[in-house]
Chains A and B, each alone.
Chain A
Amino acid sequence: MKKIVTMLLSLLLLIGIVGCTTTENSSSNSNSGSDDAKQEDGTKVLKLNNGSEPTSFDPPIGFDSVSWNALNNLMEGLTRLDDEDQPQPAAAKEWEKSEDGKTYTFHLREDAKWSNGEAVTAEDFEYAWKRLANPDTASPAAFLSYFIEGAEAFNTGEGSEEDVMVKAVDETTFEVTLESPVAFFPNLISNPAFFPVHKATVEENPEWHTEADTYVSNGPFKLTKWEHDSEFEFSKNENYWDADNVKLDQVNWAMVDDTNTEYQMYKTGELHTSDVPADLSEELFSDGKAQVEDQSGTYFYRFNLEMEPFQNQNIRKAFAMAVDQQKIVEFVTKNEEKPAYGFVAYGFEDAAGGDFREVGGDLVTTDADQAKELLEKGMEEEGYDQLPAVTLTYNTSDDHKKIAETLQQMYKEVLGVDVELANQEWNVFSDEQKQLNLQFSRSSFLADYGDPINFLESFQTDHSMNRTGWSNEEYDSLITKAKEETDEAKRFEYMHEAEALLFEEMPIFPIHFYNQVYLQNEDVTGIVRHPVGYMELKWADIK
Chain B
Amino acid sequence: MAKYVMNRLFAMVITLWIIVTITFFLMHAVPGSPFNQERNTSEAVQQNLEAHYHLNEPVFIQYAIYIKSLATLDFGPSIKQSSTSVNEMIGRGFPVSAELGITSLIIAIISGIVLGIMAALRHNGAIDYMAMTFAVIGISVPNFIMATLLIQQLAVTWEIFPVATWASPMHMILPSIALATGPMAIIARLTRSSMIEVLNQDYVMTARAKGMTTFQIVMKHALRNALLPVITILGTLVAGVLTGSFVIEKIFAIPGMGKYFINGINDRDYPVIMGTTVFYSAFLIMMLFIVDIAYGILDPRIKLHKRGE
A264 touching B44 by the CB < 8 A rule? no
Q: Shortest distance in angstroms between A530's beta carbon and chain B's nearest beta carbon? A: 16
Asked if A384 is at the interface (CB within 8 A of a chain B CB), the reply is no
Q: Shortest distance in angstroms between B23's beta carbon and chain A's nearest beta carbon? A: 17
Q: A143-B44, A427-B33 are in contact. Are A4 and B129 (CB under 8 A)?
A: yes
Q: How far is the CA of A230 from the CA of B249 in the complex (A)?
A: 11
A264 touching B253 by the CB < 8 A rule? no
B44 touching A156 by the CB < 8 A rule? yes
Asked if B14 is at the interface (CB within 8 A of a chain A CB), the reply is no
B48 touching A53 by the CB < 8 A rule? no
Q: Shortest distance in angstroms between B54's beta carbon and chain A's nearest beta carbon? A: 12
Q: Shortest distance in angstroms between B142's beta carbon and chain A's nearest beta carbon? A: 14
The listed residue (A261, A267, A446) touching B251 by CB distance below 8 A is: A261
Asked if B40 is at the interface (CB within 8 A of a chain A CB), the reply is yes
A261 touching B164 by the CB < 8 A rule? yes
Chain B interface: which of A102-110, A133-141, A363-371?
A: A133-141
Q: How far is the CA of A458 from the CA of B36 in the complex (A)?
A: 16
B166 touching A230 by the CB < 8 A rule? yes
Q: Shortest distance in angstroms between B135's beta carbon and chain A's nearest beta carbon? A: 12
Q: How far is the CA of A140 from the CA of B44 in the complex (A)?
A: 10
B93 to chain A: which residues have CB within 8 Å? 229
A258 touching B129 by the CB < 8 A rule? no
B255 touching A229 by the CB < 8 A rule? yes
Q: How far is the CA of A4 from the CA of B137 in the complex (A)?
A: 17
The listed residue (B52, B159, B252, B259) touching A261 by CB distance below 8 A is: B252
Q: How far is the CA of A273 from the CA of B173 in the complex (A)?
A: 25
The listed residue (B49, B80, B124) touching A55 by CB distance below 8 A is: B80
Interface residues of B in 42-95 (CB under 8 A from A): 42-45, 48-49, 51-52, 80-84, 88-89, 92-93
Q: A264-B151, A264-B156 are in contact. Are A143 and B45 (CB under 8 A)?
A: yes
The listed residue (A20, A63, A431) touching B39 by CB distance below 8 A is: A63
Q: How far is the CA of A258 from the CA of B166 in the complex (A)?
A: 14
Q: How many residues of A contact B (CB 8 A)?
A: 65
Q: How far is the CA of A142 from the CA of B47 in the complex (A)?
A: 12
Asked if A430 is at the interface (CB within 8 A of a chain B CB), the reply is yes
A268 touching B32 by the CB < 8 A rule? no
A258 touching B253 by the CB < 8 A rule? yes
Q: How far is the CA of A21 from the CA of B272 in the complex (A)?
A: 42
Count of chain A to chain B residue pairs whose CB atoms are closer than 8 Å in the complex: 157
A439 to chain B: which residues have CB within 8 Å? none
Asked if B152 is at the interface (CB within 8 A of a chain A CB), the reply is yes
What residue in chain A is nearest B166 (Cβ atoms)? A230
Asked if A98 is at the interface (CB within 8 A of a chain B CB), the reply is no
B156 to chain A: which residues have CB within 8 Å? 27, 30, 264, 267-268
A5 to chain B: which residues have CB within 8 Å? 129
What residue in chain A is nearest B88 (Cβ atoms)? A228
Q: Bits for A443-472, please: 1 = Cβ < 8 Å to B, else 0.
A: 011101000000000100000110000000
B168 to chain A: which residues have CB within 8 Å? none
B253 touching A254 by the CB < 8 A rule? yes
Q: Bits for B241-257, please: 1 = Cβ < 8 Å to A, else 0.
A: 00000000011110100
Asked if B277 is at the interface (CB within 8 A of a chain A CB), the reply is no
Q: A4-B129, A264-B155 are in contact. Are A427 and B32 (CB under 8 A)?
A: yes
A268 to chain B: which residues have CB within 8 Å? 155-156, 159, 162-163
Asked if A12 is at the interface (CB within 8 A of a chain B CB), the reply is yes
What residue in chain A is nearest B149 (Cβ atoms)? A23
A265 touching B163 by the CB < 8 A rule? yes
B30 to chain A: which residues have CB within 8 Å? 427-428
What residue in chain B is nearest A432 (Cβ atoms)? B31
Asked if B15 is at the interface (CB within 8 A of a chain A CB), the reply is no
The listed residue (B39, B129, B133, B266) touching A426 by CB distance below 8 A is: B266
Asked if A231 is at the interface (CB within 8 A of a chain B CB), the reply is yes
B163 touching A261 by the CB < 8 A rule? yes
Interface residues of A in 228-278 (CB under 8 A from B): 228-231, 254-258, 260-261, 264-265, 267-268, 270
B83 to chain A: which residues have CB within 8 Å? 56, 58, 61, 207, 209-210
Q: Bits for A185-227, please: 1 = Cβ < 8 Å to B, else 0.
A: 0000000000000000000000101100000000000000001
Asked if A64 is at the interface (CB within 8 A of a chain B CB), the reply is yes
B251 touching A140 by the CB < 8 A rule? no
Q: How far is the CA of A228 from the CA of B38 in the complex (A)?
A: 25
A136 to chain B: which residues have CB within 8 Å? 52
Interface residues of B in 235-293 (CB under 8 A from A): 250-253, 255, 259, 266, 268
Asked if A8 is at the interface (CB within 8 A of a chain B CB), the reply is yes
A8 touching B151 by the CB < 8 A rule? no
Asked if B206 is at the interface (CB within 8 A of a chain A CB), the reply is no
Q: How far is the CA of A29 from the CA of B236 in the complex (A)?
A: 43
B42 touching A143 by the CB < 8 A rule? yes
Asked if A26 is at the interface (CB within 8 A of a chain B CB), the reply is yes
**B interface, size bucket:** 35 or more
A255 touching B129 by the CB < 8 A rule? no
Q: A63-B39, A140-B37, A254-B165 are in contact. Are A260 and B148 (CB under 8 A)?
A: yes
Asked if B35 is at the interface (CB within 8 A of a chain A CB), the reply is yes
Q: How far is the CA of A465 from the CA of B40 in the complex (A)?
A: 6
A156 to chain B: which residues have CB within 8 Å? 44
Q: How far is the CA of A525 from the CA of B307 in the complex (A)?
A: 71
B36 touching A27 by the CB < 8 A rule? no
Interface residues of B in 208-232 (CB under 8 A from A): none
Asked if B157 is at the interface (CB within 8 A of a chain A CB), the reply is yes
Q: A27-B152, A27-B157, A229-B92 are in contact. Are A464 and B40 (CB under 8 A)?
A: yes
B266 touching A138 by the CB < 8 A rule? no
Q: A4-B129, A23-B153, A140-B41 are in contact. Are A256 and B35 (CB under 8 A)?
A: no
B152 touching A257 by the CB < 8 A rule? no
Interface residues of A in 1-44 (CB under 8 A from B): 1, 4-5, 8-9, 12, 19-20, 23, 26-27, 30
Q: How far is the CA of A231 from the CA of B48 in the complex (A)?
A: 31
Q: How far is the CA of A19 from the CA of B92 in the complex (A)?
A: 38
What residue in chain A is nearest B40 (Cβ atoms)? A465
Q: How far is the CA of A270 from the CA of B171 in the complex (A)?
A: 13
B80 to chain A: which residues have CB within 8 Å? 55
A464 touching B43 by the CB < 8 A rule? yes
B48 touching A458 by the CB < 8 A rule? no
Q: How far is the CA of A254 from the CA of B171 in the complex (A)?
A: 14
A228 touching B149 by the CB < 8 A rule? no
A270 touching B44 by the CB < 8 A rule? no
Q: A27-B156, A255-B255, A264-B156 are in contact. Are A142 and B45 (CB under 8 A)?
A: yes
B41 touching A264 by the CB < 8 A rule? no
Asked if B294 is at the interface (CB within 8 A of a chain A CB), the reply is no
The listed residue (A52, A55, A430) touching B82 by CB distance below 8 A is: A55
Asked if B6 is at the interface (CB within 8 A of a chain A CB), the reply is no
Interface positions of A (Cβ within 8 A of B): 1, 4-5, 8-9, 12, 19-20, 23, 26-27, 30, 52-53, 55-56, 58, 61, 63-64, 135-136, 138-140, 142-143, 146, 152, 155-156, 207, 209-210, 227-231, 254-258, 260-261, 264-265, 267-268, 270, 425-428, 430-432, 444-446, 448, 458, 464-465
* 22 pairs of residues in contact across A and B, judged by CB atoms under 8 Å: A20-B149, A23-B157, A26-B157, A53-B84, A135-B48, A135-B51, A140-B49, A142-B44, A143-B41, A210-B83, A210-B84, A230-B255, A256-B253, A261-B151, A264-B152, A264-B156, A265-B163, A265-B165, A270-B162, A427-B36, A430-B36, A431-B31
8 additional contacts (CB under 8 A) given A19-B149, A255-B253, A260-B251: A55-B82, A61-B83, A64-B37, A142-B42, A229-B255, A254-B165, A427-B266, A428-B31
